[in-house]
Amino acid sequence: MTTTDEAEKQLRVMIVDDHPLVRDGIRAMLESSGMAVVAEASSGEEAAGLAAQLQPDVVLMDIRMPGVDGLEATRRIKEAASTVAVIIVTSFESQDYLVRAIEAGAAGYVLKGASRQLLTDAVRVVVEGGSMFEPAMVSAMASEIGSRIAPLEGVLDDLNEREIQVLKLIANGCSNAEIAEQMNYSVGTIKNSVQQIIEKLSVSDRTQAAVLAVRAGLGVE
């Protein structure tokens, strides 16, 4: 029997894909890992409405769907419910899609056919404030997407020493909890630092901040 405390700890996930068999497979993986699937949607338009209404922790979003696609749906979800994390789950290993997904506000990009462990790890990482992009992928796209976000020269000048260190760890894909442990600060302090970094860099999220970090020479370890 699931207790109230255990139920409260369940991560609430919504699945968006126009293929029922794909949704069934993802649902099975999530539920076997103790996560709750609170809704399914077969189109981007439906997904945006449900996400605003239900406020799931994470939305797993396909890209190519009839009508409103997953990228536009992601943008709408982030505008209406900024705390909802979106992970793109797609069969397209496309640099262009990856760039556009980040610009839309996605916190992760996972290929269909990924293992249950990878998919559930991605859900847990983004809920904790992290992102699920391979560091090499971030580095490869840095010059393209970074030029769309802000000029490279001098973009880190307003950051203090602690913020530079936090930003470097963000660029390496660390969650707030991991950064707090490495730097010996509370998670709350790191959350505040991350928000200050995002505001100072004039970007919309931590992934775009990570791209600027790579372009500024902080590198990916």
Condensed to tens digits (0 to 9), the pLDDT of residues 186-198 reads 988 998 999 899 9
**Residue 37 domain-assigned?**
yes
Residue 49's contacts (CB-CB under 8 Å, 6 or more residues apart) are none
Domain assignment of residue 95, yes or no: yes
Specify if 26 maps to a domain: yes
122 and 18 within one domain: yes
Count of domains for the chain = 2
Q: Which of 138, 160, 161, 133 is nearest to 149 (CA)?
A: 138
**Is the same domain home to 33 and 123?**
yes
On whether residue 47 sits in a domain, the answer given is yes
Same structural domain for residues 206 and 117? no
Indicate if 159 and 99 belong to the same structural domain. no
Q: What is the per-residue pLDDT for 23?
A: 95
Residues 95 and 181 in one domain: no
Domain range for residue 174? 141-215
Is 189 exposed, middle or buried (CB count within 10 Å of its CB: 0-12, 13-18, 19+)?
middle
Question: Whole-model pTM?
Answer: 0.71
**DSSP conformation letters of 42-70:** SSHHHHHHHHHHH--SEEEE-S--SSS-H
The top-scoring range by mean pLDDT among 40-44, 95-99, 131-135, 141-145 is 40-44
Domain shared by 156 and 194, yes or no: yes
| Whether residue 51 is found in the same domain as residue 78 | yes
> Of 108, 132, 156, which one is at a domain's C-terminal end?
132
Predicted local distance difference test score (pLDDT) of residue 146: 53
In a domain, 220, yes or no: no
As given in the structure block, the two tokens for residue 111 are 């290929």
Same-domain pairing of 12 and 112: yes
Please identify, among 84, 111, 132, the residue that sits at the C-terminal boundary of a domain: 132
Q: Is 206 helix (H, G, I), strand (E, B) or coil?
A: helix
Q: From 109, 132, 155, give the residue that closes a domain.
A: 132
What spatial distance separates the first Cα and last Cα of the chain, rounded to whole Å? Answer: 44
